Structure 1
Amino acid sequence: MEYKNKLIRFGQNRVWRSYSGGKVLDQINNESVPVDSHFPEDWIASVTKAVNPGRETISEGQSTAIIGDYSLDFAELLALNPEYFLGKEHFSRFGPNPMVLIKFLDSSIRLHFQAHPTREFAQNHLDSNSGKAEAYYILQVREEIDDPYIYLGFQTPPTKETLKEIIVKQDINRLKTCFEKIKVSPGECYFIPGGMPHAIGEGILMIEIMEPSDWAVRFEFERAGYTLPEEARYMKRDLDFCLDVFDYSEKSVEAVATQNKKTPRLLTTYVDGSVKESLIDDKTTDRYRVCRTKVINSITKSETDFYVGVIAAGSCTIKLDEEILVLDKYDKFFCPAGIENITIETDDSVEIIECYPPLTN
């Protein structure tokens, strides 16, 4: 199998979750009868195993890479030549791990209220090198949803003791008084640091970018008739342990708009007027980076790092040596660090979300 100077493609990699969704993902994948189910996520370029209590015997989460007519486990592919795929400096620092996890997330209901640990908490208390700082890029909203929203941070923070009481009693109405809805629209990007309590509203398709872990404190137990087993609530610890995960600071709606909603920053302007913008940079987090390239006609693109690309809008043709790859909306690919440049051509414009690893310098 020849893998050099080729982009890596990915098929479906649906993962079981405790909430329902996935109908839009079914439509994207041309299923004959699209339905919402407990497979609302598609993990992209993943070497991370999903944590689903009760399904430990089922291997979920790790992606299959496609190169021409060949397919193999993505982690196995990276292990063939990690310096080529990931870059020498990245490999020497992190080993054969991309250190970033990307997902399609398609919600039919509001997700459980939850929070994720910071990397520091994970290192100190969970024997893990990764917490779970997240970013959302909103792709589309279901037609029947008039007011799409997310919850981010406590707008009216409880004390630790009050939050414990709310969780023990599962007083969700009282819990909701700690939050205000944050309205969202397609094309927006949000950053959710570790510790920030949050929930994604119903009817949203997004790209979710995060540290490569599946740590979650789910402090709302029942959604749409499904009740989380105890081992799925507190990272297999107890409530008192997990109460230290939360950021109890006040986060006004205005603060979310200025601090967590990310304004695109221009990085590059190409000859034809195409642009590359930064959405999540090293000033926001040192865990990963997210950019958006908008191509009007044709560009030659050169990057020093590997990245995972998702076609957010439009379609394009990518040329690389003798290879010609046609990509449509919501297709995804991996561009190895060892590729010097690619040519992207489009008839009607294309937007590509690019997910990069942590900086190594």
Structure 2
Amino acid sequence: MYKEPIFLQPDFKERIWGGTKLRDYYNYEIPSTNTGECWGISAHENGPSILKNGPLRGQTLTKVWENHRELFGHEEGEKFPLLVKILDANDDLSVQVHPDDEYARIYESGELGKTECWYVIDCEVDSHLILGHHAKTKEEFVRMIETGEWDLLLKKVPIKPGDFYYVPSGTIHAIGKGALILETQQSSDTTYRVYDYDRIDDKGDKRERHVQQSIEVSTIPHKDAEVKQGANRKEGLITKQLVSEKYFTVYHCQLDGSVEQKMNRNYLLLSILEGNGSVIIEGKSYSFTKGDHLILPSTISEYQLTGDAQFILSHTTYGPLGGNNK
């Protein structure tokens, strides 16, 4: 059963702020010129990935997680815990905030909370993020929202390709116009919209805001997240740890040759940012290229990577090491 990588067919989402970079940059077949999100590795019911190869080809990752937990080292949990996206911000995203696990469990029908992180693939020269706010107290936070003092409230951060940001639940945030970002997050689709620049949708209506929920879940005062990073090289692979926290560990990897690796996690998620290469397992080669999303399952004991590529690699942090290789 799956002595090979699991390649996935993404699910695409049209958004008011979306564009065509997912097609132009990654050659994806997108549904329209307002495509904002590629859900590359997803078992969420609102947009599950489809397996493209192997004996379970054609099934959703959701069903595979439910029925074939051996592929994931028998990791516990009702839901596949992570979701990997690529976002094309052709326009500013709404200013928003996400709840933590406890709030989402109570008020969002058992949904997971949403802690996330961003790797900037590409962006325009003047692109920025909103990451945090300047209010010192809840009273000041509420007043500034009610009076629309957005320029004073919101904390803007300039960005460049290769930047990385960790965004815990409770953080006021927004991705700015012109950014192409890979997001690794908890598998959740719960967003509370604080402000949307008074935009209207295709029906002429302003989009819904969730002000009360935003006030209840936002971290006040804002605290910049601290992450420990480090890099190492093994053979032809440079691995830079971007973050390791409660829900996920995420790395940026630069492959410029070959490397042999043992499978020391229950499963690994890979999203190929640039280039191409191969995964070699038990003497058989499986090619990958820019824009591919794949999972290395627990049923693999060791593998070799070869090629010239950049990719984001992630895994759950709380799962035990090794899956069936403990």
Query: With structure 1 as the length reference, what TM-score do the two structures score?
Result: 0.79
Change (3 A) 1:116 1:228: farther
Matching residue of 2:323: none
Matching residue of 2:257: 297
1:48-197 matches, within 5 Å, as: 48-50=44-46, 61-67=47-53, 70-83=57-70, 85-88=71-74, 90=75, 93-95=76-78, 97-128=79-110, 130-141=112-123, 145-154=124-133, 156-157=134-135, 159-168=137-146, 171=148, 174-197=149-172
Q: What's the Cα RMSD here? A: 2.6
Query: What does the per-residue CA deviation read over 1:75-117, in whole Å, with 9 as the maximum and x for residues that have no partner?
Result: 223334212x1112x1xx314x330111111110111000001
Q: Give the residue type in structure 1 aligned to 2:42.
A: S
Say which of 190, 194, 201 aligns to 1:215.
190
The alignment partner of 1:180 has SS state of strand
Q: Give the residue type in structure 2 aligned to 1:27.
A: D
Query: What does the per-residue CA deviation read over 1:4-48, in whole Å, with 9 as the maximum and x for residues that have no partner?
Result: 21211122310234x3214111224536999631x3101122111
The alignment partner of 1:277 has SS state of strand
Say which of 309, 312, 323 aligns to 1:350.
309
Q: Distance in 2 between matches of 1:312 and 1:31?
A: 13
Say which of 216, 232, 240 aligns to 1:244.
216
Aligned residues: 315
Change (3 A) 1:16 1:118: same
Matching residue of 2:324: none
Q: Distance in 2 between matches of 1:151 and 1:32?
A: 30
Change (3 A) 1:221 1:273: closer
Change (3 A) 1:81 1:105: same
Change (3 A) 1:315 1:27: same
Higher strand share: 2
The alignment partner of 1:27 has SS state of helix
1:276 matched to 2:255? The reply is no
Identity of aligned residues (%): 21
Q: Give the residue type in structure 1 aligned to 2:41.
A: A
2:144 touches 2:153 (CA, 8 Å); kept in 1?
no
1:30 matched to 2:47? The reply is no
Query: With structure 2 as the length reference, what TM-score do the two structures score?
Result: 0.86
1:6 touches 1:67 (CA, 8 Å); kept in 2?
no
Change (3 A) 1:15 1:331: same
| Greater CA drift, 98-107 or 241-250 | 241-250
Q: Give the residue type in structure 2 aligned to 1:269.
A: R
2:239 touches 2:252 (CA, 8 Å); kept in 1?
yes
Deviation at 1:249, TM superposition (A): 0.8
**Any gaps of 5 or more consecutive residues in structure 1?**
51-60
1:14 touches 1:42 (CA, 8 Å); kept in 2?
yes
Q: Distance in 1 between matches of 2:3 and 2:29?
A: 35
The alignment partner of 2:120 has SS state of strand
